[in-house]
């Protein structure tokens, strides 16, 4: 069955081809797919990526400082609402917990969510973000996800330790 999958990637599409890029290409073989990524402002030379995966960046917001934590999610939620209205996804595929609060609640409440856990994101907290913030968003994503894919048994064990064994029944 072909589904329409909105794939929120945790890495920049234009960066070195990694697991999320390969996964998007494989999903596209059986489903309609739109990959959404956050462009990195720090990369100036891009590797060539000739993939046929349809993709669109999140909207770059120029707001800096404390206001950014309010402005950026607001902008991204509206952008993702517009994308979703046109694409009409059947599944949300989320590749990083910091992308979870960017999704409009009306969308994430009515469409099945897949959490693709490929790293210990709490241990790999990005600069300027607290580990507690990442863990809060990951806990919310784990609670909302109908399917959790972990790239290793070790990661599955860490999720179970953090959020309770009962948070992970019957999930991949």
- Which residues are CB-neighbours of 144 under 8 A, at least 6 positions away? 100, 108, 113
Q: How far is CA 54 from the centre of its chain?
A: 16
In this prediction, residue 172 carries a pLDDT of: 42
In this prediction, residue 166 carries a pLDDT of: 46
pTM, two decimals, is 0.87
32-37/4-8 β-pairing: parallel
The series of mean pLDDT values per 10 residues for the chain, 172 residues long, is 90 85 93 92 66 91 81 93 95 95 89 93 82 92 92 90 64 42
Instruction: Give the length of the chain.
Output: 172
In this prediction, residue 9 carries a pLDDT of: 93
Q: How far is CA 20 from the centre of its chain?
A: 10
- Which residues are CB-neighbours of 58 under 8 A, at least 6 positions away? 36, 37, 38, 39, 76, 79, 80, 102
């Amino acid at each position: 069955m072909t589904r329409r999958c909105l794939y929120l990637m945790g890495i920049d599409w234009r960066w070195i081809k990694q697991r999320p890029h390969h996964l998007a290409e494989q999903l596209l073989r059986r489903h309609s797919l739109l990959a959404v990524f956050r462009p990195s402002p720090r990369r100036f030379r891009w590797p060539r990526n000739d993939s046929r995966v349809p993709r669109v960046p999140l909207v770059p917001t120029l707001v800096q400082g404390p206001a950014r934590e309010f402005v950026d999610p607001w902008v991204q939620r509206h952008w993702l609402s517009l994308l979703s209205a046109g694409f009409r996804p059947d599944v949300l595929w989320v590749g990083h917990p910091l992308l979870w609060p960017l999704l409009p609640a009306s969308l994430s409440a009515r469409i099945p969510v897949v959490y693709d856990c490929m790293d210990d994101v709490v241990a790999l907290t990005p600069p300027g973000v607290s580990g507690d913030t990442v863990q809060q968003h990951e806990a919310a994503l784990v609670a909302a996800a109908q399917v959790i894919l972990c790239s290793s048994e070790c990661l599955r064990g860490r999720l179970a330790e953090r959020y309770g064994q009962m948070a992970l029944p019957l999930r991949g």
